[in-house]
């Protein structure tokens, strides 16, 4: 999968997009990414990308022309063009799985007070990562890229893939433990040493249900 970010701040991306799982996904040739800067598509002396809103009001808007040119410079028939904005549909695991099947994602990051409304026909989808306003779409776009890339087949080890299914299956993850067996007097549940895989699976399902009921009862009500 190819992920392109359209952003005025490309310097924000490498530390997140070249670390950890993202680094391995790129080494395996499963994911690649890049940035396109609308400022590089300006033709005026000052490389102007923002202007004041007609009708007045505080702040600045991203101008239509540089943003459209930036998107069109990378868009093909196989591109899914997504705008990150607080007005979008809330992003979740289902959206992530759907996007993970795309060949080319273009994640468009607005800045300032927003973008010229006449750009809206360019976007296939408008997505929000939650009900709060940020100074730009850059952090949301990387959040989406992370959630999507980990679902691209081959990025995670086989056994990990099931973990995401357990969340989309409607329950939170079960509690997990690693060494040492006793830490600060706190013991690991005995059943996990039994070697009885059916019994362990049963314990984990029950523990997942209990955790979901306690932490996220809204998930149980939806299921």
Q: Which of 25, 35, 105, 128 binds ligand 58G (CB under 6 A)?
A: 128
Q: Which of 67, 71, 84, 105 binds ligand 58G (CB under 6 A)?
A: 84
136 binds ligand 58G (CB under 6 A): yes
85 binds ligand 58G (CB under 6 A): yes
49 binds ligand 58G (CB under 6 A): no
Which range of residues in 9-17, 28-36, 109-117, 213-221 is near ligand 58G by CB under 6 A?
A: 109-117
CB 154 within 8 A of CB 30: yes
How far is Cα 220 from Cα 223, in angstroms, rounded to an integer? 5
Which range of residues in 21-29, 40-48, 82-90, 194-202 is near ligand 58G by CB under 6 A?
A: 82-90
114 binds ligand 58G (CB under 6 A): yes
Would the CA dihedral through 212, 213, 214, 218 be positive or negative? positive
User: What is the DSSP code string of 152-205?
Assistant: STTSS-HHHHHHHHHHHTT-PPPP---S-SEETTEEPPGGGGS--HHHHHHHHH
Which range of residues in 4-12, 40-48, 131-139, 203-211 is near ligand 58G by CB under 6 A?
A: 131-139
How far is Cα 191 from Cα 173, in angstroms, rounded to an integer? 17
Residue 145: phi, psi to the nearest 5? Answer: -60, -40
**Contact positions toward ligand 58G, by CB under 6 A?**
84-86, 110-111, 114-115, 128-130, 132-134, 136-137, 140
């Amino acid at each position: 999968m190819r992920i392109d970010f359209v952003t005025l701040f490309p310097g924000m991306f490498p530390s997140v997009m070249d670390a950890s799982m993202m680094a391995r996904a790129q080494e395996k040739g499963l994911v690649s990414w890049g940035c396109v800067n609308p400022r590089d598509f300006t033709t005026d002396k000052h490389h102007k990308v923002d202007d004041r809103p007609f009708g007045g009001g505080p702040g600045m808007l991203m101008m239509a022309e540089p943003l459209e040119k930036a998107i069109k410079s990378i868009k093909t028939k196989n591109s899914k063009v997504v705008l990150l904005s607080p007005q979008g549909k809330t992003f979740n695991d289902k959206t992530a799985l759907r996007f993970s099947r795309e060949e080319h994602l273009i994640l468009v990051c607005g800045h300032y007070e927003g973008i010229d409304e006449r750009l809206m026909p360019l976007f296939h989808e408008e997505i929000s990562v939650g009900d709060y306003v940020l100074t730009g779409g850059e952090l949301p776009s990387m959040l989406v890229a992370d959630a999507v890339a980990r679902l691209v087949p081959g990025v995670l080890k086989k056994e990990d893939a099931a973990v995401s299914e357990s969340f989309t299956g409607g329950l939170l993850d079960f509690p997990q433990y690693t060494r040492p067996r006793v830490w600060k007097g706190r013991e690991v549940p005995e059943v996990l040493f039994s070697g009885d895989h059916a019994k362990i699976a049963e314990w984990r399902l029950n523990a997942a249900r209990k955790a979901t009921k306690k932490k996220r009862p809204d998930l149980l009500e939806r299921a």
